C-alpha cells in the first residue's frame, strides 16, 4: 500500500507540474519570454499638420500604454511621394499614415476601412464630437466611387454613412481653412474710424462681404511716410502660380455661387460665376492696387512675411499670422467674407484636413487604430490647443473659449465657424492636374496674356481631357 500511495503521489505531482499554465502560472514564472507590445510607426507631415503636437501626444501614449511610437515627419511634397511609394509596393513598414484629402482617391484601396473598428471601440459614441462637415470631407468615401460626395448631415451618423455605401477611411487630426488676420489696432484707431466714416458713410467694422472688404483695403492702402510711394497695402492675396493661387480663386468662385465641377464631373468653373470671380480677384490687384506690387509671386509663405512685417493691414492665410516685434500692433481674426445673394450671405472659404489612416498592409492594424483614436481623441485635442493645433472636434473648440490669450480665443472662434461653411476639394485622382490648369488660367489673366473668360475656357478644355484620361 505504501508503494502504491507513493506512486500515486508522484503521478499527481507530475500532472501538477505539466498543468502549471492551467493553474495561472505566468510565462515569466515558467521561464518563457514575456510578450512585449509592438512598436508602431507613424508617417506624418511637418508643421503643416501640427507635427509638434502629435509627436508630444505620441510620447504621452507611450508613457500611458507602454507602446513605443516612432513618428517620422516629412514636408508636404516629400511626404506625398513617401506615402505613394510605400503603398504602391504594399509595404507594411508604417502602421499609421497622415493623409491629405486629395490623395485618398488614388490610395483608398491601400487603406484599411475603419468602420468596423469604430463600432467595436469603447469610444465609438464620441464620433459625433467631430465637426460633421469636416469629418465627412476628410474621412468618408465610397471605395468603388471615391468621387461621390457623402450624405450631408449635421451630426455624424455611422449607420446612415454605411447605408449610403460609404465607409470611414481616416480620423481627422488637423484642419485648415482660409481665414483673415487683420490689424486690430489700426481698425480701432479713432482717427482711422472717423476718416473711414466720413469717406464710406459707415463704421470701420469687420467686413462681411467682398465689397466691404475691398472698401477697407482701399482705405488702408496709403503712403504712410509721405515719400510719394505707397508703403502700406490693404490686403494680401496668394496670386503666384502655386496651389495657393488655386484655392484663393476657388474661395472667390464659391462666394459667387460657382463650382469647379457639375454632378457629372464636367468642369464648370468657366461659367459666368467663374469669370466674375476671376475678374473680382484681378480687380483688387490690377485696378484697385490694394495688394503689394509683388503679389503675383505670393503663396502662403510670402503672405505671412508681408503681413508680419507690417506691409498689409489684412492678410488671408490658413493659419493665424503674427506681427514682427518691431512692427508692434495687435492682430485680430475674421472669417473670409462672402457675397450677398438676396438676403443670404454666401461664404465659401476653401478648407481641407489631414486624416490618420491605417495602412492596409500593417501587421498591427488594431493597435494602429487604437493609436489613431488616442491622437484624435477629445482629451488629447484639448491638450493640442497649447500647440495652436487646428483641432477637429467640437469639444476642443468649446475648450478654446477658456484660453487665457484673447487673440488665440478669437482665432479658434473664427476657425471653428469657418470650418462649418468651408468648401472642400474635388474627390478625383487627377486633382493636381486640375489645380495646375486653373493656376495657369489665373496667371494668364493677371499677367494680361488672356482675357478672363478665354483663360478659364481654355483651362476647362484641358481639364475635360484630363478627366477623360482618368476614366471620368
Q: What is the CATH number of domain 40-177+352-419?
A: 3.40.190.10
Instruction: From residue 4, give the alpha-carbon distance in Å to each of 8, 15, 17.
Output: 6, 17, 20
Tell me the three state secondary structure of residue 129.
helix
Do residues 335 and 349 make contact, with C-beta atoms less than 8 angstroms apart? Answer: yes
> pLDDT at position 17, please?
38
Quickly tell me which residue has 469604430 as its cell: 118
Nearest C-alpha neighbor of 235 from the set 169, 289, 276, 194: 289
> pLDDT at position 12, please?
37
> pLDDT at position 4, please?
42
Tell me how far apart the alpha carbons of residues 461 and 441 are, in angstroms, rounded to a whole number: 11
> pLDDT at position 333, please?
98
Nearest C-alpha neighbor of 424 from the set 175, 219, 207, 64: 175
**What does the buried/exposed string (b/e) look like for 180-194 if buried means 16 or more CB atoms within 10 Å of the residue's CB?**
bbbbbebbeeeebee
> pLDDT at position 34, please?
59
Tell me how far apart the alpha carbons of residues 276 and 286 are, in angstroms, rounded to a whole number: 15
Tell me how far apart the alpha carbons of residues 334 and 207 are, in angstroms, rounded to a whole number: 8
Tell me how far apart the alpha carbons of residues 410 and 392 are, in angstroms, rounded to a whole number: 17
Digits of tens for pLDDT over the chain (472 positions)?
A: 444 444 444 433 333 334 333 333 343 444 555 567 789 999 999 998 999 999 999 999 999 999 999 999 999 999 999 999 999 999 999 999 999 999 999 999 999 999 999 999 876 669 999 999 999 999 999 999 999 999 899 999 999 999 999 999 999 999 999 999 999 999 999 999 999 999 999 999 999 999 999 999 999 999 999 999 999 999 999 999 999 999 999 999 999 999 999 999 999 999 999 999 999 999 999 999 999 999 999 999 999 999 999 999 999 999 999 999 999 999 999 999 999 999 999 999 999 999 999 999 999 999 999 999 999 999 999 999 999 999 999 999 999 999 999 999 999 999 999 999 999 999 999 999 999 999 999 999 999 999 999 999 999 999 999 999 999 9
Q: What is the DSSP letter of 21?
A: G
Same fold, 40-177+352-419 and 179-349+428-469: yes
Element (H, E) at 331: strand 331-335
> pLDDT at position 32, please?
52
> pLDDT at position 28, please?
42
Domain 179-349+428-469 classification at class level: alpha beta
Do residues 376 and 355 make contact, with C-beta atoms less than 8 angstroms apart? Answer: no
pTM for this entry: 0.90
Quickly tell me which residue has 494668364 as its cell: 444
List the domain boundaries for the chain.
40-177+352-419, 179-349+428-469
Ramachandran region, residue 22 (left: φ > 0; alpha: ψ -120 to 50; beta: rest): alpha
Residues in the chain: 472
Tell me how far apart the alpha carbons of residues 107 and 82 are, in angstroms, rounded to a whole number: 12
> pLDDT at position 319, please?
94
Element (H, E) at 99: strand 96-100
Centre a 10 Å sphere on the Cβ of residue 438 and count the other Cβ atoms it contains: 28
> pLDDT at position 19, please?
36
> pLDDT at position 381, please?
97
Instruction: From residue 152, give the alpha-carbon distance in Å to each of 46, 160, 256, 394, 457.
Output: 31, 10, 21, 17, 31
> pLDDT at position 18, please?
40
Tell me how far apart the alpha carbons of residues 151 and 328 are, in angstroms, rounded to a whole number: 47
Nearest C-alpha neighbor of 400 from the set 373, 381, 418, 419: 381
Amino acid at each position: 500500500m505504501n508503494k502504491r500511495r507513493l506512486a500515486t503521489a508522484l503521478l499527481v505531482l507530475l500532472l501538477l507540474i505539466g498543468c502549471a499554465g492551467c493553474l495561472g502560472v505566468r510565462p515569466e514564472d515558467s521561464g518563457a519570454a514575456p510578450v512585449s507590445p509592438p512598436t508602431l510607426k507613424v508617417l506624418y507631415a511637418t508643421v503643416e499638420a501640427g507635427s509638434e503636437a502629435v509627436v508630444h501626444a505620441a510620447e504621452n501614449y507611450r508613457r500611458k500604454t507602454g507602446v513605443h511610437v516612432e513618428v517620422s515627419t516629412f514636408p508636404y511634397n516629400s511626404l506625398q511621394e513617401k506615402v505613394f511609394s510605400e503603398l504602391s509596393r504594399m509595404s507594411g513598414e508604417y502602421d499609421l499614415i497622415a493623409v491629405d484629402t486629395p490623395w485618398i482617391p488614388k490610395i483608398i484601396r491601400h487603406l484599411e476601412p475603419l468602420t468596423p473598428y469604430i463600432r467595436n471601440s469603447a469610444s465609438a459614441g464620441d464620433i459625433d464630437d467631430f465637426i460633421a462637415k469636416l469629418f465627412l470631407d476628410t474621412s468618408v468615401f465610397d471605395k468603388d466611387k471615391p468621387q461621390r460626395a457623402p450624405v450631408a448631415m449635421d451630426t455624424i451618423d455611422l449607420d446612415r454613412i454605411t447605408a449610403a455605401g460609404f465607409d470611414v477611411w481616416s480620423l481627422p487630426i488637423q484642419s485648415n481653412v482660409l481665414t483673415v488676420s487683420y490689424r486690430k489696432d489700426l481698425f480701432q484707431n479713432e482717427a482711422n474710424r472717423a476718416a473711414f466714416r466720413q469717406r464710406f458713410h459707415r463704421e470701420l467694422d469687420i467686413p462681411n462681404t467682398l465689397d466691404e472688404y475691398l472698401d477697407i483695403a482701399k482705405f488702408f492702402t496709403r503712403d504712410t511716410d509721405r515719400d510719394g510711394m505707397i508703403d502700406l497695402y490693404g490686403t494680401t492675396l496668394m496670386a503666384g502660380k502655386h496651389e495657393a493661387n488655386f484655392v484663393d480663386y476657388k474661395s472667390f468662385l464659391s462666394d459667387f455661387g460657382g463650382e469647379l465641377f457639375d454632378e457629372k464631373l464636367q468642369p464648370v468653373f468657366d461659367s459666368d460665376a467663374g469669370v466674375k470671380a476671376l475678374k473680382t480677384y484681378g480687380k483688387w490687384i490690377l485696378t484697385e492696387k490694394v495688394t503689394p506690387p509683388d503679389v503675383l509671386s505670393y503663396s502662403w509663405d510670402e503672405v505671412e512675411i508681408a503681413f508680419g512685417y507690417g506691409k498689409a493691414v489684412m492678410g488671408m492665410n490658413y493659419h493665424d499670422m503674427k506681427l514682427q516685434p518691431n512692427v508692434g500692433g495687435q492682430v485680430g481674426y475674421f472669417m473670409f467674407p462672402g457675397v450677398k445673394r438676396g438676403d443670404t450671405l454666401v461664404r465659401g472659404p476653401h478648407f481641407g484636413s489631414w486624416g490618420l489612416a491605417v495602412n492596409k498592409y500593417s501587421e498591427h492594424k488594431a493597435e494602429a487604430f487604437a493609436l489613431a483614436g488616442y491622437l484624435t481623441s477629445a482629451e488629447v485635442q484639448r491638450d493640442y490647443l497649447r500647440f495652436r493645433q487646428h483641432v477637429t472636434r467640437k469639444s476642443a473648440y468649446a475648450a478654446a473659449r477658456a484660453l487665457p490669450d484673447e487673440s488665440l480665443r478669437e482665432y479658434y472662434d473664427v476657425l471653428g465657424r469657418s470650418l462649418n461653411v468651408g468648401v472642400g476639394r474635388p474627390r478625383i485622382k487627377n486633382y493636381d492636374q486640375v489645380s495646375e490648369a486653373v493656376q495657369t488660367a489665373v496667371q494668364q489673366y493677371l499677367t494680361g496674356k488672356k482675357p478672363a473668360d478665354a483663360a478659364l475656357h481654355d483651362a476647362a478644355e484641358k481639364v475635360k481631357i484630363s478627366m477623360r484620361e482618368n476614366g471620368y
